Every structure is written in structure tokens, then in C-alpha cells.
Chains A and B, each alone.
Chain A
């Protein structure tokens, strides 16, 4: 089932890339990066929402699965945020000839990456009781969400060097982007699912070994 999900995600991504680089090509060539940049950025934010929801869920119910899902979402989010910033920098270099400049969108994207990084460091640094560490991470997830994505979203409405959306000329281009979007979101869901069950099984094994 999970394999199927991941396989489907990769098929969609490959289809998106093929369409994007042939019929739906954007001129000039380097702008085609946006076919991967946009979906991955959306997923980086979506993962943050998942972290928020699972953190709240953990604090409300105290069930461990919520906590594991939050970890999984944060890890996947870190990967997507890394891609978001890396492709963003490459695009910016190709388009504006600078790797980075403090514009609202770029600053908030970098902050998003930092938040994921700090969340993951916090996760591995907290010793002792599992429950306490999980609660602390949940608190950080909630405070972080109150803080940054709100800024991130508000930054969309500000005039900026970074354009919020491109207007597409052909349906091929829209199709390529939509396929990429669907593929990346499926990939995110698959990764989070896979990671959650992996964490759960590892934990179960460790608990049995302790007994």
C-alpha cells in the first residue's frame, strides 16, 4: 500500500517533469525550476500544518502515535524546506544573479528551514522520559507555527522581488505544475506514513527488549 503510494508519487513526478520539459516548457529555460520549486514549497508548508495538528493532537490526547507522526512530518518538512531553499537559491542565481537577498519571501523561507532544523535538534537533544520530551517538542511545534507561517502567509501580500505566481500560457504548463503538485503531496504523505510506522515499530521493539 505504502509502496504503491510512493510509486504513484514518483510516476506523477516523472510525468510532470517530462511534460514540463517538453510541451510545457517555460521560456527562458531556467524558469522550469519552478515545476519542482513550487510543489516542494507548498509541501514544506503543508508539513508544518501537519506538525501543528499532530502536536495539538498529542497534547490533547497523550497518544504516542501523534507524537511519532509529528516527528515524521517534521523530518519530511525538513527535506522539503531544504529543497525549497536550495531550488529557490538556484533560481534566484539564474534569474537575478544573486544567491540570496533579504526579501520577505526569501527571509521567511529561510526561517522555515531554521525552524525545522531546530525542531529536529530539540528532538534528539532531550533526554529522559519520552513523554516529557514529546510534550516539549509539541509545545515548540505550536509556538513555532503561531510565529512563522503566519508571517509567511502575510508575506504573500507584499510587493516583492519574488512573484507569488506565474501566469501560464498553455494548459500543458498548468498540467505539468498540477501533476508535480499532486506527486509531491503524495510523496509527502507516503514519507510521513512510512516514517511514522517505522518509528512505532522501532519503539515497540525497544520496549520489548527492555522488558
Chain B
């Protein structure tokens, strides 16, 4: 038994060190998660506590659930060669992208409808303005889905599919998480509407500015992905 154990253990480690595929992805993924949590909960500015945890929990939950949905969205097509059929159809790639994007947005919205009340109850949070909360969440949803949909098509054939998709999407969405967290913290009453100073939240400045930043990110991501999708799927 020990002999077999040792043989397989050594084989696995040697294979990993030779191929160098999973380990760097794991390391970078771990660093990214730590980093995003740090940005999302800049406790020095917000004073810590339930609102900070709640906001961070919400965005992390959205990011990873969104990734799950996006990873699925092209896996099915890849299986039976459906992707080829889809590409042969008299549609341009942009249309395929928009359809996939809408599907992912709807899935994530349903998920949000369940998880947001859960987070609000679990962390005893009071929301200042439901309309604004919905706006912020939908903007975040659009950003997460647009990048995720583009790159889920890209990483389908790789061995470390899920992890690779996560690091690509997380690193691209990281800048958006700053205004997104700021907006949620304002809505949860942990930050004032307007901030001055030198932290990364003061960088955002005010609630309308946070929404504007998110809008800008969404616009750039969506338009760029829509234009570049054809390049990604074409054989």
C-alpha cells in the first residue's frame, strides 16, 4: 500500500511541476480572492462590522455564482459540436454573444433575487433606497456577465477550465469592485454619501460617481466583448 501511495504521490507532483498548469493558477486565484476581499472591505474607511462583511459577501457570492453560470454556457455547446452548428447559422457572432449574455444575466438575476434578501437578513442590514440597490446590483451583474460570457467561450478547451476562467474574470473585474463595494457600503449606511481623503474609497468620491464608474466599466466591457466575440469563437 505504501509503495503504491508513494508512487502515485511522486507521479502527481512531478507531473504538476513539469506541466506547470494548475499550481500557478491556484496561487494567483488565491491571491486574487484575498485581494478582492481586501478591496471590498476597506474596513479602515468603513469602521468594520456587518455592513462591510455583507457587501463583501454579496460581491464574492455574485462573482463565483456568475462564474458557475458562465462556465456552463458554452460547455454544453462544445459537447456535441453544437458550437460549429451555431457558427454556421446565418447569424453574426455578436448576436450569439448577446443571446448568451442575456441568458447569463437572467440566471444571475434570479440568483440575486434569492441571495440578496438572505444577506440582508443574515447581516441585519438596513437599505437606504431599494431602487438604488437594484440599480447597483444590476450594473454589477452586467459587468460580471459580459466579461464572463466572452471568456467562457475562450477557455472551453483548456484543462484547467474553471480555475482559468475565474482568474481571467476576477482580474478584469477587480477595478470595478472598488466602486461596487463603495456603492453597497453607502446603501448599507456604513459610509457617507460623499468621501474625501486618501483611501481607495475616497478615490471613488460619491455615490453618483460610483454608479457612473460602474456604468463606464459596463459599457466598455460589453461593447468590447460584443466586438471581440467573433475573434474568440472563429476556428
Contacts and interface: CB of A to CB of B under 8 A. Distances in A.
Q: A–B direct touch, CB within 8 Å, in complex?
A: yes
Interface of A: 59, 102-104, 107-108, 110-111, 114-115, 117-118, 121-122, 124-129, 132, 135-136, 138-140, 142-144, 146-148, 151, 155, 158-161
A142 B154 CA distance: 14
Contact of B28 (A107, A118, A143): A118
A58 B15 CA distance: 33
Contact of A143 (B172, B174, B197): B172
A125 B28 contact: no
A163 B225 CA distance: 35
Contact of A103 (B28, B167, B198): B198
A209 B24 CA distance: 30
Contact of B231 (A118, A135, A147, A160): A135
A155 B231 contact: no
B183 interface: no
Contacts of A117: 24, 28
Majority-rule SS of A interface residues: helix
Interface of B: 20-21, 24-25, 28, 31-32, 35, 38-39, 42, 44, 147, 150-151, 154-155, 157-160, 164, 167-168, 171-172, 174-175, 178, 197-200, 202-203, 217, 220-221, 224-225, 228, 231-232, 234-235
B224 A126 contact: no
Given A139-B231, A140-B168, A103 B200 contact: yes
Contacts of B199: 102-103
23 contacts: A102-B38, A102-B200, A107-B178, A107-B200, A111-B174, A114-B32, A118-B167, A121-B28, A122-B164, A125-B25, A125-B159, A125-B164, A126-B158, A127-B157, A127-B159, A140-B151, A142-B224, A143-B225, A143-B228, A146-B220, A158-B202, A159-B198, A159-B202
Contacts of B172: 143-144, 147
Given A59-B231, A110-B35, A135-B231, 18 more contacts: A102-B200, A103-B200, A104-B200, A107-B200, A115-B171, A117-B28, A122-B168, A125-B155, A125-B159, A125-B164, A126-B157, A126-B158, A140-B151, A143-B147, A144-B172, A147-B172, A148-B175, A159-B198
Nearest to B19: A124
A158 B209 CA distance: 14
Contacts of A124: 20-21
Contacts of B234: 135
Contacts of A128: 157
Contacts of A103: 198-200
A125 B175 contact: no
A111 B171 contact: yes
A182 to B, nearest CB: 31
A129 to B, nearest CB: 8
A87 B147 CA distance: 32
Q: Which 10 A-B pairs have the closest CB atoms?
A: A104-B203, A102-B200, A136-B154, A118-B171, A114-B171, A151-B175, A139-B228, A125-B158, A158-B203, A118-B167
Nearest to B173: A147
Contacts of B202: 158-159
Contacts of A115: 171
